[in-house]
């Protein structure tokens, strides 16, 4: 939550949507219309707080190591992405919500919010271990941009 949920809820609440089933949150989609400005804001007021809080924290599992690494040395999206696709989004669904079109509905809602804000393009990253989900994004109109530490896709 510290990387892919809370900063969006804090700084971009108009682009943070949750999916509830039986009163439980089972998914979310978050975005920012301006990745570069969002990253600058995180660098100024989000990362320093987390870096201080977790300065002495040792990783106990591989996922801890990854999250702590991102907190201690956060990266920025390349200008190659933000030039044409200035917005970005993240989506996550629990297994119970991964069928029935819920992902499509969340992404559609988010894309509408970004369009309403005048955003000309949006990108997202797909983990190399989750490449199969690219077909879902292709059906949603996203196209491959490049593949590096992740698979980057965009839609204009």
Per-residue pLDDT of 31-71, as tens digits, reads 999 999 999 999 999 999 999 988 888 777 666 777 888 88
Q: What does the pLDDT read at residue 59? A: 74
Would residue 72 count as lying in a domain?
A: no
pLDDT of residue 63: 63
Low-confidence stretches of the chain (pLDDT beneath 50): none
For residue 63, tell me if it sits in a domain: no
Place of tokens 């969340």: 106
pLDDT at 60: 77
| Domain assignment present for 107 | yes
Residue 18 structural domain? 6-36+78-155
Give Cβ neighbours of residue 143 (< 8 Å, ≥ 6 apart).
153, 154, 155
Distance CA 42, CA 24 (A): 28
Residue pointed to by tokens 């988010």: 110
Q: Is residue 94 part of a domain?
A: yes
DSSP state of 42: I
Residue 56 neighbours by CB distance under 10 Å? 6
Determine phi and psi for 55, rounding to 5 degrees.
Answer: -60, -40
Q: Which residue is listed with tokens 């593949």?
A: 147
Q: Which of 19, 7, 24, 9 is nearest to 103 (CA)?
A: 19
SS3 assignment, position 8 = helix
Within a domain: 1: no
CA angle 73, 75, 80 (to 5 degrees): 160
pTM of the model: 0.90
The predicted pLDDT at position 56 comes to: 82
- The total number of structural domains that make up the chain: 1
User: CATH number, domain at 30?
Assistant: 3.40.630.30
Establish if 142 belongs to a structural domain: yes
């Amino acid at each position: 939550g510290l990387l892919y949920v809370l900063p969006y809820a804090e700084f971009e609440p108009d682009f943070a949507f949750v999916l509830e089933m039986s009163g439980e949150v089972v998914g979310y989609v978050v975005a920012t219309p301006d990745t570069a400005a969002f990253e600058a804001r995180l660098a100024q007021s989000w990362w320093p707080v987390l870096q201080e809080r977790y300065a002495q924290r040792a990783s106990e599992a591989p996922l801890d190591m990854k999250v702590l690494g991102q907190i201690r040395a956060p990266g920025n999206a390349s200008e190659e992405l933000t030039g044409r696709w200035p917005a970005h989004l993240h989506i996550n669904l629990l297994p119970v919500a991964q069928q029935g079109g819920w992902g499509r509905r969340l992404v559609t809602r988010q894309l509408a919010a970004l369009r309403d804000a005048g955003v000309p393009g949006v990108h997202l990253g797909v983990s190399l271990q989750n490449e199969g989900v690219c077909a879902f994004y292709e059906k949603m109109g996203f196209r491959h941009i490049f593949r590096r530490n992740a698979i980057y896709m965009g839609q204009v």
